[in-house]
Amino acid sequence: MNLNRKMTLLFGGIAVGTLVMLILISLYAFRSYSIASSTAHVRTAAEMVRVHLTESMIQGVINKREQFLNRLLEVQGLRTARVVRSSYVNEQFGVGMNREMNADEIEKLVLADGQPRYEIRDDRGESVFRGTIPFAASSRGTPNCLQCHKVSEGTVLGAVTMELSLTELKEKALTTVSWISVTMAVFAALSIVLARRLILPVGSTAQAVERAVQRALKGDFKGRVEKRTDDEIGQIASETNNLLTFLDDGLARISQRVVQLTGRTLRQDDNQLEVAIDMVNGLADASSFKQAIEEDETKAEIFDRFGRVLTDQFGIREFSIYETSGPKQLEPFMVDSVQGSPCRWCDPQILLRSGMCRGKRSGHTVDGLTQPGICYAFKQPDNTGEPRRHYCVPIMQSGSVGSILQLVVRESEAARFHAQVPYVNVYVREMAPVLEAKRLTETLRESSLRDAMTGLNNRRFLEEYVDTLVATARRRKIELALLVLDIDYFKMVNDTYGHDAGDMVLKSLAVVLRTSVRASDMVIRFGGEEFLIVLQETEAENALRVAENIRATVEDLKIQIGGAVLQKTISIGLAMFPEDSETFWQAVKFADVALYRAKDDGRNRVVRFRSEMWEGHADSY
């Protein structure tokens, strides 16, 4: 029910209620007036009868009292007038007329207690007012009752009963009430019409505002409110329109900017407000995500956090993250939230031939949600049940594809997830520069820990890794063999053939050293032409054999430099940790001492450290 109808019903109810109350009050007032007026007439007429009867007795014409009563009936509206006598009068003057002796019940009560009685009754459809007034003996006035009656003062001598017709008075009252009612009804109708004219703009404006607000709640701010008056209601309409225009323009600008950021396209049936809120919330969440991953230490932590976002926020539990490994290979970094898992949702051949991956090959997103089968490399395992669809996003790093994000959803959920793809892309876009920064940081750190010329780890790497190396050795109770190597007469190469030749010799030696030990062993360029090899889980005898093999290989190595062929030899010192020393760096020093002994003994040889090499000669080293 709208406001106008409510107000009309309210004023109509007030008018009807007022009219009903006025009619009831008027009827009650007329009834009270009729009773009071009739009572006064009856009492006046009764007093006239009493006075007439008293004078008639004194003048001796009491026997003509009946004529007086009949004359009294000629008074308009008076229907009945009769007198009844009490037993005291009968005892003194004898029995009177028959009509004076037959008292009814009311008259008997009046004669008994001397109290007047009045009533209104209906006589064949006519309203009649009856009053019975007692005559009490009194000594007041001249003549008075006690001059003739031998009774005490206050004795009830008789009663007079009169009946008045109220029909005419009732008709006049009803006519008057009718006119009042008609007048009030006309006035009420005019008031309602006037009130409606005043309130109609309020109700219409309220309805228009309601419709505009309902449209706004659905994301449509183009509704407008018609201005009907120039008062406060009109001002409300104008300000509401200004507010809707402001919100519409502001929301349109916000949505446009957010669409540019998310790439989501608004549909006609979209609630602009809800979509804008969702997109802003998504951007805020993505911003918080970026702040979190910026403080993560490694790419593994970043991808792990991103995997939780996919699972918790987007409900994606089947996804893969691949990283490029060389120009033609991919490595599965994370599959279905598990790091290091094998390839599951793609043909394993993409790991060796990354060109099979459409996302890696093109550098563009692969939308298998709306275009099933677009990528031939997508492969669903046989035991997964409902068919799946995929969406792949290449993550660009330094102008090329560095990682591939593959999202896998059930076919029944493809449409739902497609609406969330723009938000996933926002996370990927926020994550890409952080991954690039982490990659560059790792590259810089790697370069600071690796010798640029030989490709071997440098001394700084050993200094950072030594605590872990020692802790592992002690926990596993294994021995470490430390080989310190130095090229014999290396300065002569630089002086004779130049530094380029020296660099060639160092590179060639680095290749020999890497190929002569296991992948788990460490080969470090310790400085200049000096190298350090850490052989893990190796006893002294085996370490000596490895060292001798390295020495012999280097001795047979021929290095082509311009028109000349160089052959160099190396000297090697060997020490064991923790056999020779409980301190790692002290063990390295002991290997260096053994190296010097090899140099002193003629070079091109391997020398195992012995304690007597150090005792008494510590100051020399």
263: left (phi over 0), alpha (psi -120 to 50) or beta: left
The CA distance from 328 to 354, in Å, is 5
Return the number of other C-beta atoms located less than 10 Å from residue 373's C-beta. Answer: 8
The CA distance from 159 to 47, in Å, is 11
Give catalytic status of residue 411 as yes or no: no
One-letter amino acid for residue 502 of the chain: G
**Structural tokens at position 562:** 């311009």
Specify the length of the chain in residues.
621
| 289 Cβ contact partners less than 8 Å away, ≥ 6 residues apart | 305, 306, 309, 427, 430, 431
The CA distance from 117 to 105, in Å, is 11
Please tell me the number of Cα atoms within 13 Å of 496 on its side-chain side: 10
The CA distance from 509 to 522, in Å, is 15
C-alpha triplet 66, 68, 70: angle, nearest 5°: 70
Question: Cα–Cα distances in Å, from 184 out to 171, 181, 275, 580?
Answer: 20, 5, 58, 124
**Structural tokens at position 324:** 């490029």
| 185 Cβ contact partners less than 8 Å away, ≥ 6 residues apart | 15, 19
Catalytic member of 163, 318, 479, 529: 529
Residues assigned a catalytic role: 529
